[in-house]
Amino acid sequence: MERPERQRLALDPSVSDGAFARALDPESPVDPGIVRAVRILWAAGVEAFESCRGGEGHGLPEPVVMFHGGREAGWRAVAAAQEMDLPLLALRRYWTIIDGEPTGPSWQVVFRPMAD
């Protein structure tokens, strides 16, 4: 699904969070515990590419959304999250090491635990 279509779905109030989660990735829908945050970020134009609600049994200890973008993207994500009262914990810029070489950078916005 192309980026404009994802943003349109995120902004459409007639689309449920569950339908939005399945539309992003039918094979592996977004976890219910992080879908609201992902949707808020997509609606703000933040290109999320991975997320995890965190906690026991998950890949990360805390809820996190990873996204692409330039220097301004992190601040856009923080502003969107704050405007919707999401429980922010951290904003991170990171590089992944692939075949021994730094790749990126990408962003992470990290949240305090959220209710499903």
Q: What's the gap between Cα 101 and its chain centre?
A: 25
* Digit-coded pLDDT (tens) for 19-28: 888 888 877 7
Pick from 4, 65, 3: nearest CA to 40: 65
* Digit-coded pLDDT (tens) for 4-23: 788 888 889 889 888 888 88
How far is Cα 44 from Cα 10, in angstroms, rounded to an integer? Answer: 9
Q: Is residue 116 domain-resident? A: no
Residues in the chain with pLDDT < 50?
none
Range of the domain at 73: 3-111
pLDDT for position 70: 94
Q: Is residue 32 domain-resident? A: yes
How does DSSP classify residue 10? H
Q: How many domains does the chain have?
A: 1
In terms of Cβ atoms closer than 10 Å to its own Cβ (0-12, 13-18, 19+), residue 55 is middle
pLDDT for position 61: 76
pLDDT for position 26: 78
pLDDT for position 88: 96
pLDDT for position 1: 65
* pTM score: 0.86
